[in-house]
A and B are shown apart, each in its own frame.
Chain A
Amino acid sequence: MAVKAETIEQIGGFGNLIPSSYKEHFRSSGFIKSANGLVAGIKTSVLSTGNPTKFTQSEYASIGNIFNMADGYGRTNIGTQSGANPVTYVLNENGDIYQSYNGGNPDLVVAIDRNNSHFGVSGLGGLITDPKKRLLYSGERYLGMFDPSVSDVFFTDLTFTNGSNAVGSSDATEDFTADMVGKNIRVLIGGTYHYYKIASYIDGFHITISGTFSGTTAGNYTAFVLMSWTNSWKDWGTDFSENSEGNYATTPCETYEDTVLFGRGSNITSLNITSDTITTDASPAFNMPDGYDCMSIDKGSNGILLGFNFQGKGVLLLWDNFSDRSIAPWIELQDRLVSVCKYQGNWLVITTTEILLTNGYSVTTLASNFLDAEHTSYSPILYSKTSAVVGDDFYFTIGLSYNGKRRAGLYCFNLTSKLVTYIPRTDMNQYDNLTRCIFYSNSNSSGGKLMIGSAGSWDYVSKDTESKVSTIVTNPVGSGVNRKIAEALKVDLGISETYYSSDSPFSFDIIAKVFPMTKQKQNRAKLKTAMVTNYNKMTIDETVYPQIPVGSEIEFLSGENAGYTRNVISKTGAGTNTAVLILDRNLPYLQTNTTDYFFFNPFLLIEKKSYTNITEIPETIWFDIKNKIKGKKFMFKIEIENPTVPIELRPMTFIYDDLGVI
């Protein structure tokens, strides 16, 4: 028997199964690469979930399901009539457009599709800013346009009547004009903003709105008629309501010289911004045969790369905004095209199994079967912008499941190491696929920001911001095929050298677990009933779900305790419909969600160590594995829980007794 100390240097990332790269670990969450290892210091933060105190109409209470973003120019705030300042726009599923000025809390600036069908039921509109600073929003049939150089009309004397659609102007000046029909009117009611659509013009003193006014009848309301927004500015000629597979009609957009291009199924239509003329669906700038669905339009050094899906397979082709055919042979992809992203004049391409790099003529595979795609390919997300490059990092989202490495959310693929890191949400929900689109915004005066459009929130990636729990699971360690006894794990920690804050005591918990790789790594079950009173007691129906052995790790992927794990220390009622599990320590919250799965894993708890109000990281953190766990290969799991500073994880050491060939 010989004691061996094996260094674990799996601190590069994960997800690509590179055989020769031993710096790859199995999976992690919330860790990003640092000078000495990995830092538990990245997550998405919420910019806004809407502003129900400012927009009290119930339909505007939430920011909704965001599926498109663009930088552009707009007002500094919604209380001004004019201005063309750098802002970021988002478009949600309801046809509402929000803007954030200088990274601030976003405002709903226009409600296009309320009482209107600009985007249609299943239309995911295009959103782009043209070189004239105009925001273009392409809908089911019409191209809408916001021109920041046009001032909105401001009123202080409008009469609204509760329950009525009639609106009057009470002063002696004729204020209303016929061209206000179809425009949004934003009314300030008791400090909150309400949106209505102008339905008809009666005369200079009277209009009607769609629907009826809800508020106190009065004659001195402040309001803006949003003349700068024109929904039906250009007519593409036909309704583009769904793609050839009956799914959402996504509309990718791109600017190219003096042209703005719009993907509408098999057609590429265009707007010339010099003449403000368009090519229509009937006579498009470029078209493909029926059945091709445009997924992407992106300019680069060699021209414009158009991405289509046809019968479940992707195709890329290069175009010059002039020719009636592609200017290079088509690149046929083996799988469905998911996303295309510009990268230094070339393009990064994501399919349902691969990450590719292309210059429009040829393709290089950067990652094949990443994130366990060799088992099951990914389901595509049907939105226009699901990837973005920042420096050497390629951020993306894809149709992920909760299995293995593939938690729902945002991933970052490093173009040098070709390994990924996983960026958890603030609420640590890794189960529900809530990420809709990704956009690298530069409208903020303080620098670029990676913005995330989610279901119900507008988020951004924050680095040097620790999440509630950061996790790393190693790939199997333990050299050779001999049987071994796991004896100890030595962990070295530090604090991110880029972290700056007022120097103060800090706290964190570190939990180490081991799995001897002798059984299935994970399974899943649901709570039978919501947890009540006891924060360490769970009731499971084990006649429906597999029996959970004592010692197992319980891992919540959603709900109140998402991200947290605990281990089962005892159990009653095994195999019955009321099996009760007792956990090693309390969960932070009583888990009430009984519809989502939680994982149970065979990671055995070695020890949890708590460090509270310390001013220095301990020199060595030693985990003594006391149970003489035997195996040939072992996987370790380290969790940094509730840190108050970004903790850096450095290479670890696994100490074991090598039992020789037995």
Chain B
Amino acid sequence: MNQATFNNKKTKGEVEEVKKPDNTKEVLNSMQKDINDKKNEPSLNDYLGILEVLKKVKKHRTTAPTNVPKTYLDAIEFYVSGTTYRVYFYINKNWKYITLT
């Protein structure tokens, strides 16, 4: 069908326009929610690692800690070297310890 014929039919009201409803916005909002959930809203899953640690006995180390802790649990370290027993605490950007008997 050439364009002139089509235009003629359209003028006479003989052309039915077919257009699907625009649900793009809803689809995109739905899809984007997955990413936003992951980025912005911590879930219980985010704390599973910490909870897992709490279920176990903390392992001692044989060298003094030097790392910068990322969590509250990381800020406490048990140290054993020979007969020396210490507990290290990360306080004010420094590792401090007390010796145990």
Within 8 A of A (CB), among B1-28: 1-3, 6, 9-10, 14-20, 23-24, 26-28
> Measured between alpha carbons, how far is A366 from B31 in the docked complex, in Å?
8
Chain B residues closer than 8 Å to A487, beta-carbon distance: 1, 6
> Measured between alpha carbons, how far is A320 from B52 in the docked complex, in Å?
14
Q: Which residue of B lies closest to A327 (CB)?
A: B49
Is the pair B6, A3 in contact by a Cβ cutoff of 8 Å? yes
Is the pair B1, A328 in contact by a Cβ cutoff of 8 Å? no
Chain A residues closer than 8 Å to B3, beta-carbon distance: 488, 490, 620, 622, 624
What are 28 A-B contacts defined by CB distance under 8 Å? A2-B14, A3-B6, A4-B16, A5-B6, A5-B15, A6-B17, A7-B17, A7-B20, A12-B24, A20-B27, A21-B27, A23-B24, A257-B68, A302-B49, A320-B74, A322-B74, A327-B52, A328-B48, A329-B52, A345-B39, A346-B39, A359-B45, A359-B46, A361-B48, A479-B20, A487-B1, A488-B3, A490-B3
Chain A residues closer than 8 Å to B6, beta-carbon distance: 3, 5, 487-488, 655
From B15, B18, B28, name the one whose CB has the most chain A CB atoms within 10 angstroms. B18
Q: Nearest 3 pairs between A and B by C-beta?
A: A328-B49, A487-B1, A362-B45
Residue-wise, chain A 285-323 has the 8 Å CB interface mask toward B (1 for contact) of 000000000000000001100000000000000101110
Chain A nearest CB, measured from B37 CB (Å): 7
| A residues neighboring B (CB under 8 Å) | 2-7, 9, 12, 18, 20-23, 257, 302-303, 318, 320-322, 324, 327-329, 344-346, 357-362, 364, 366, 415-418, 479, 487-488, 490, 620, 622, 624-625, 655
| B residues neighboring A (CB under 8 Å) | 1-3, 6, 9-10, 14-20, 23-24, 26-28, 31-32, 34-35, 37-39, 43, 45-49, 52-53, 59, 67-68, 70, 74
Is the pair B52, A21 in contact by a Cβ cutoff of 8 Å? no
Is the pair A418, B39 in contact by a Cβ cutoff of 8 Å? no
Is the pair A357, B34 in contact by a Cβ cutoff of 8 Å? yes
Q: Which residue of B lies closest to A478 (CB)?
A: B18
Interface of A is mostly: loop
Chain B residues closer than 8 Å to A655, beta-carbon distance: 1, 6, 15
> Measured between alpha carbons, how far is A311 from B44 in the docked complex, in Å?
31
Chain A residues closer than 8 Å to B47, beta-carbon distance: 361
Is the pair A357, B19 in contact by a Cβ cutoff of 8 Å? no
Contact of B15 among A4, A7, A12, A320 (CB under 8 A): A4
Contact of A418 among B31, B67, B68 (CB under 8 A): B31
Q: Which residue of A lies closest to B19 (CB)?
A: A7
Contacts beyond the supplied A3-B16, A329-B48, A345-B39: 18 A-B pairs with Cβ under 8 Å? A4-B17, A4-B18, A21-B27, A318-B49, A322-B67, A322-B74, A327-B52, A359-B45, A364-B34, A364-B37, A364-B38, A417-B31, A418-B31, A488-B6, A620-B3, A622-B2, A624-B3, A655-B1
> Measured between alpha carbons, how far is A5 from B27 in the docked complex, in Å?
25
Chain B residues closer than 8 Å to A321, beta-carbon distance: 67
Is the pair A5, B46 in contact by a Cβ cutoff of 8 Å? no
Is the pair B24, A303 in contact by a Cβ cutoff of 8 Å? no
